[in-house]
Amino acid sequence: MHQLCLPMGLDDDDVNRLDQIIGRRRRIARDESLYRMGDPFQNLYAVRFGHFKTSQNNPSGEQQITGFQMAGELLGMDAISADRHHCDAVALEDSEVCEIPFPRLEELFGHIPTLLHHFHRMMSQEITREQNVMLLLGNMRAEQRFAVFLVNLSARYAARGYSASSFQLRMSREDIGNYLGLTIESVSRLLSRFKKQNLLSVDKREVTLLDPAQLKALAAGTKHCAPM
């Protein structure tokens, strides 16, 4: 936990101070929400284990999943600006977070500049992550979007010490489609196509990347794979 999240380059003393303000752990069962759009903002949340999705919901019924979060990632930064959560956060499986009371964290920033700087990096990283998604949604065809999605998951699991080539999709096809701006049918067809080209194999939600190089090329937009 500590390795991935807020404390980097802090001395023991500072880590202690941080630990002291960190609130209780909270377990969220699959399909339960950690917070909903409009909820008053009190805490940031660090994912301890499990997976979440965050989604933006429009009054007229449109929904857009804006991200999938896994262990070590921070949830709730969108809520600072209006003191209310701006999206829904829902657990994709039984998960656990730890609460970080934001007012107390901000107090601590005054005493630990390193911590403050690291926090700014995390917010900034969220901004750049979203910019990458905007590029994906605005400029890429379905095939490339899906490849980017897979390569990104692969890299994130690798960074956590898991296999880069074999992992479980924690989200439904519908969630994937929504995130990528595609229909569930399109996602299904893409999976079949990639399977047929031996880029990957799928068993239910278990994916194995058989040709990571080719997938990366698809993601980078330097290659295309046959229409069918």
Partner DNA sequence: CGCGGAATTGAAAATACTCAAAATTAGTGG
Partner DNA sequence: CCACTAATTTTGAGTATTTTCAATTCCGCG
Residue 81 interacting entry, from DNA, a second copy, none, C-beta within 5 to 8 Å by type = a second copy
Identify residues 98-137 at the interface with a second copy (CB under 8 A).
106-107, 109-110, 113, 116-117, 120-128, 130-135, 137
Min. distance of Cβ 191 from DNA in angstroms?
A: 5
Q: Does residue 9 touch a second copy according to CB under 8 A?
A: no
How many other CB atoms are there within 10 angstroms of residue 222's CB atom? 9
Q: Does 107 bind DNA (CB under 7 A)?
A: no
Q: Which x/- pattern over 156-195 shows residues binding DNA (rule: CB under 7 A)?
A: ----------------xxx------xxxxxxxxx-xx---
**28 vs 182, which CB is nearer to DNA?**
182
Query: Is 50 or 177 the residue whose CB approaches a second copy more closely?
Result: 177
Residue 188 binds: one of a second copy, DNA, none (C-beta under 5 to 8 A by kind): DNA
- The interface partner of residue 35, options being a second copy, DNA, none and the CB cut-off 5 to 8 Å by kind, is none
> Does 32 interact with DNA (rule: CB under 7 A)?
no
Residues that bind DNA (CB under 7 A): 141-143, 172-174, 181-189, 191-192, 202-205, 227
